Amino acid sequence: FMSQFESGNLLSAQRVGPLEYDLQLQVDHATTGHTQWYFFCVSNTYPGQQYRFNIINFAKPDSLYTRGQQPLFFSLLASKK
């Protein structure tokens, strides 16, 4: 995991299962501790494996995710095909 780039906000990642990780995000600036977005990089993954990322401090009571929004991800390998 990495977020040492502009707008990266991953504070920590802890492995909790073979392919499962608990992630904690840095809180948004100028808020009282809210986190409404995420931006980080994951590498050294295996094709065909399903990974689970639990963002443990992403708890806004009413968000677009409760209305069906899905996360956006980008694969460098897939983009070269």
Q: Which residues of the chain have pLDDT under 70?
A: 59-60
Task: Name residues whose C-beta falls within 8 Å of residue 3's C-beta, 6 or more positions apart in sequence.
Answer: 9, 10, 39, 40, 41
Q: pTM score, two decimals?
A: 0.77
- C-alpha dihedral sign at 45, 37, 4, 80: positive
Tell me how far the alpha carbon of residue 15 is from its chain's centroid: 14
Q: Is 66 helix (H, G, I), strand (E, B) or coil?
A: helix
pLDDT at 75: 84
pLDDT at 24: 92
Name the helix (H) or strand (E) containing 53.
strand 52-55
